[in-house]
Amino acid sequence: MPQPLLTLDFLDTAAPAAEATPSGEVRITAATRTGRQRKLYIESYGCQMNFSDSEIVSSILFDEGFDTTDDLANADLVLLNTCSIREKAEQTVRMRLKQINSHKKRKPGMLVGVLGCMAERLKSKFLEEEKIVDLVVGPDAYRDLPGLISQVDGGQKGVNVLLSREETYADITPVRLNSNGITAFISIMRGCDNMCSFCVVPFTRGRERSRDAHSIVQEASALVAAGYKEVTLLGQNVDSYKWASADGTEHVNFAQLLERVALISPALRVRFSTSHPKDITDEVLHTMARHDNICKYIHLPAQSGNSRVLALMNRTYDRPWYEERVQAIRRILGEDCAISTDMISGFCSETEEEHQDTLSLIDFAQYDMGYNFFYSERPGTLAARKLEDDIPLEVKKRRLQEVIDRQQIHARARYARMVGRVHQVLVEGPSKRSAEHLSGRNSQNQVVIFPKQNFQKGDYVNVLATSTTGAALLGEAV
Ligand code: SAH
Ligand code: SF4
Ligand code: F3S
């Protein structure tokens, strides 16, 4: 069993730096001070796609005379970039709007807008339900923000929730205000064409579309030139990335895109998320194997370990298929490649035996990390229309806890097997708990903490792992 290290109480958690998965994190866009007239405050919820979109929104509004601020009380325009994935995510935003209302009372000129998935789901209903809201803008309509803001300045409400089949914001350079200057996210596609029966994303993000491969390579190259050392390519289902040039002479799939980005520089690490088990190909795995700078970590959400439940979820693979993909990863990339999952507990009609199958899949895959949730019915989805949400909340919660506990055993074991080995760590900054230590990640996305000596942010350091907390490796530079 792993040895917890008792002398140091580090808690730098292995946060989902490479996830398109909702992390429960709230992100406030950092301030710019360039003397622009109006102040924009953006708070982002949900997944990395939203965090990435907020950088695009800041860029669009910067050109419109807005500096960003991290002080809500001082803002002229407050934007919440929202998430609809589970009921709780929406409740959080409703509560936040109440708090913002009290600020608005003190500063009556303050405009309040809702962006993102909840804006798309609720559309103009939002204006009826939340009187404080002036502006409702869906994820494909951010270019219209300047026009909508002038409309609101003129005393009207502004709504644009049109979804697009083309919009990828490929030409807008995001302003990376929250960045550490070392790691960055690049959206390579938008939307989702899968129809998982539990999921609201196809309704809030629209049809799947892939961004111009050249604009992606250009963005990554510009980041390298600016000193960045790691990029994460983001999409709901990166393996279905597919782009063709207008004249039809050039076709790029995900494996090829990954290779193009990896070839920009051997000093650039490349990550990606999320991989759909039905689509991840051996070609992608071989591409990962060929390039040392493509990190050996795959987020491969299973959702359930039972084939009947997977069919009800409309995931379009069954358990044997999923197990075969895990075996392919182990065969092509070896035991060291990290794998993580998302699991949903208590989906419609899930029996105790079927829940046990999820636990046994966790044992089979020995995941490094799991993002686990209990099922939350979302209005308008296939499951809401066709299936009964019949598992009592206490049962959902108990099953979820069992999933979390089982996953924890494997996470600890996966950390423990890395002790005694040397890891190449990209330093992201000081450790949260000690200014004398640095924190970074290895290729597997595990957190590694070590005494800082003369190393600094952005360095690649070879670190011998000497112990683990179960959620981080501790070691020393060699
Ligand atoms: N595109 C990714 C998932 C994006 S949503 C994929 O296909 O794997 C992130 C995670 O939220 C999902 O993997 C799922 O585990 C969870 N999720 C989505 N809808 C949910 C719901 N209605 N209730 C509970 N969890 C949900
Ligand atoms: Fe949702 Fe499924 Fe699309 Fe993922 S693949 S975003 S779970 S519909
Ligand atoms: Fe992301 Fe939440 Fe939308 S997870 S895509 S912000 S529903």
Annotated binding site: 47, 83, 117, 192, 196, 199
pLDDT of residue 22: 52
The token pair at 427 is: 């330093």
- Domain 422-477 CATH class label: mainly beta
Contact 355, 405 (CB under 8 A): no
CATH topology of domain 5-160: Rossmann fold (3.40.50)
Per run of 10 residues, the mean pLDDT along the chain (length 478 residues) is: 29 35 74 88 94 94 94 95 96 95 91 97 93 96 97 95 95 86 95 97 97 97 97 96 96 98 98 97 98 98 98 98 98 98 98 98 98 97 98 98 97 97 97 93 97 96 97 96
The residues facing 288 across adjacent strands are: none
Distances in Å between the Cα of 437 and the Cα atoms of 219, 237, 393 are: 32, 36, 42
Amino acid at 28: I
In this structure, the residue with its CA closest to atom 24 of ligand 1 is 375
Residue where the block lists tokens 């939203």 = 50
DSSP string over 312-329: HTT-S--HHHHHHHHHHH
Closest by CA position to 39, among listed 79, 70, 75: 75
pLDDT of residue 4: 29
pLDDT of residue 433: 81
Instruction: Give yes or no for residue 463 CB within 6 A of ligand 2.
Output: no
The CATH number of the domain covering residues in 183-416: 3.80.30.20
pLDDT of residue 408: 96
Give the DSSP letter of residue 421: S
Mutate to test the pocket of ligand 2, among 199, 273, 373 (most ligand atoms within 8 A of CB): 199
CA dihedral 385, 117, 284, 316 (to 10 degrees): 0
Nearest ligand 1 atom to alpha carbon 198: 22
53: number of Cβ within 10 Å: 23
Nearest ligand 2 atom to alpha carbon 315: 2
Report the DSSP pairing between strands 434-441 and 447-451.
antiparallel
Q: Cis omega before residue 249 (within 30°)? A: no
Expressed in angstroms and rounded, the spacing between residue 195 Cα and the centre of ligand 2 is: 7
Give the DSSP letter of residue 466: E
Pocket of ligand 1 from Cβ distances under 6 Å: 21-22, 85-86, 198-199, 201, 236-237, 274, 276, 301, 303, 342, 344, 373, 375-376, 378
Closest by CA position to 326, among listed 280, 264, 391, 294: 280
Closest by CA position to 378, among listed 350, 404, 347: 347
Rounded Cα gap, residues 241 and 84, in angstroms:
24
Mutate to test the pocket of ligand 2, among 86, 195, 196, 314 (most ligand atoms within 8 A of CB): 196
Residue where the block lists tokens 């957190």 = 447
Q: Where do the domains of the chain lie?
A: 5-160, 183-416, 422-477
- Buried b / exposed e over 413-444, threshold 16 CB at 10 Å, is ebbbebbeeebebbbbebbeebeebbbbbbbb
The residues facing 426 across adjacent strands are: 441, 460
Q: What residues have CB less than 8 Å from 306, skipping those under 6 apart? A: 319, 350, 353, 354, 355, 357, 358
Expressed in angstroms and rounded, the spacing between residue 183 Cα and the centre of ligand 2 is: 25
Contact 374, 346 (CB under 8 A): yes
Mutate to test the pocket of ligand 1, among 84, 88, 342, 397 (most ligand atoms within 8 A of CB): 342
Instruction: Give yes or no for residue 201 CB within 6 A of ligand 2.
Output: yes
pLDDT of residue 459: 97
Contact 353, 313 (CB under 8 A): no
Rounded Cα gap, residues 143 and 63, in angstroms:
11
Contact 435, 286 (CB under 8 A): no
Pocket of ligand 3 from Cβ distances under 6 Å: 22, 46-47, 49-50, 83-85, 116-117, 200-201, 204-205
Mutate to test the pocket of ligand 3, among 53, 87, 204, 237 (most ligand atoms within 8 A of CB): 204
pLDDT of residue 23: 55
Annotated binding site for [4Fe-4S] cluster: 47, 83, 117, 192, 196, 199
Strand order in the sheet with 338-345: 297-299, 338-345, 369-374
